[in-house]
Structure 1
Amino acid sequence: MKGTELILGGARSGKSRLAEQLAAASGLDVIYVATATAGDEEMAERIARHQTQRPAAWQVVEEQQDLASVVQRYSRKGTCLLIDCLTLWLTHCLCAEEATHEHWQQHKHDFLTALLHAEGRIILVSNEVGQGIVPMGELSRRFVDESGWLHQAIARQAERVVFVTAGIPQVLKGPVW
Structure 2
Amino acid sequence: MFVDEDGEAVAVRENPQLILVTGGARSGKSTYAERLARRSGRSVAYIATATAGDDDMRDRIARHQAARPTTWQTIEEPLHLAGAVCQAASLADIILLDCITVWLSNWLLLQDELSSIESTPASVYSEGALQEIEVLLREAQALNAQQRLVIVTNEVGLGIVPAFALGRVYRDVLGAVNRRLAQEAARVYFLIAGLAVDIKRLHEEASL
In the alignment, what sits opposite 1:162? 189
Question: Hey, what does 1:70 align to over in structure 2?
Answer: 84
Residue 199 of structure 2: SS of its match in structure 1?
strand
Q: Find 1:117's aligned residue among 137, 142, 151.
A: 142
State the identity %: 41
Which piece of structure 1 moves more, 101-110 or 137-146?
101-110
**Structure 1 portions without partners, runs of 5+:** none
Matched-pair contact (CA < 8 Å) for 1:159–1:174? no
Contact 1:75 1:121 in 2 (8 A): no
Could you tell me which runs of 5 or more consecutive residues in structure 2 were left unpaired when the two chains were aligned.
1-14, 114-123, 203-208
Q: Which amino acid aligns with 2:70?
A: A
> Which of the residues 81, 86, 89 maps onto 2:100?
86
Aligned with 1:106 (options 108, 114, 131): 131
Corresponding residue for residue 11 of structure 1: 25
Q: Deviations over 1:79-107 (max 9, x none)?
A: 10000011000110011155773653432
CA contact (8 A) 2:93 2:148 kept: yes
The residue number in structure 2 matching 1:53 is 67
CA shift at 1:3, angstroms?
Answer: 2.1
Identify if the C-alpha distance between structure 1 residues 132 and 151 changes in structure 2 by more than 3 Å, giving closer, same or farther.
same
Shift in Å, 1:112? 2.4
Question: Whole-Å Cα distance in 2 between the matches of residues 104 and 130 of structure 1?
Answer: 17
Letter in structure 2 aligned against 1:2:
P
**TM-score w.r.t. structure 1 length?**
0.91
Task: Give the greater-gyration-radius structure (CA).
Answer: 2
TM-score under structure 2 normalisation?
0.78
Q: CA deviation at 1:165?
A: 0.6
For 1:78 and 1:37, the matched residues in 2 are separated by: 23
Q: Match of 1:141?
A: 168
Give how far 1:6 is off.
Answer: 0.5
Structure 1 outlier segments of 4+, above 6 Å: none
1:174 deviates by 4.1
Q: Tell me the alpha carbon deviations over residues 35-88 of structure 1, each in whole angstroms, 9 at most, x when there is no partner.
A: 001100011001101111100000000001100111123225961000001100
Q: Cα RMSD over matched residues?
A: 2.0
CA drift of 1:113 comes to 2.2
Distance 2:66 2:184 in 1: 32
Structure 2 Cα separation of the partners of residues 106 and 3 of structure 1: 20
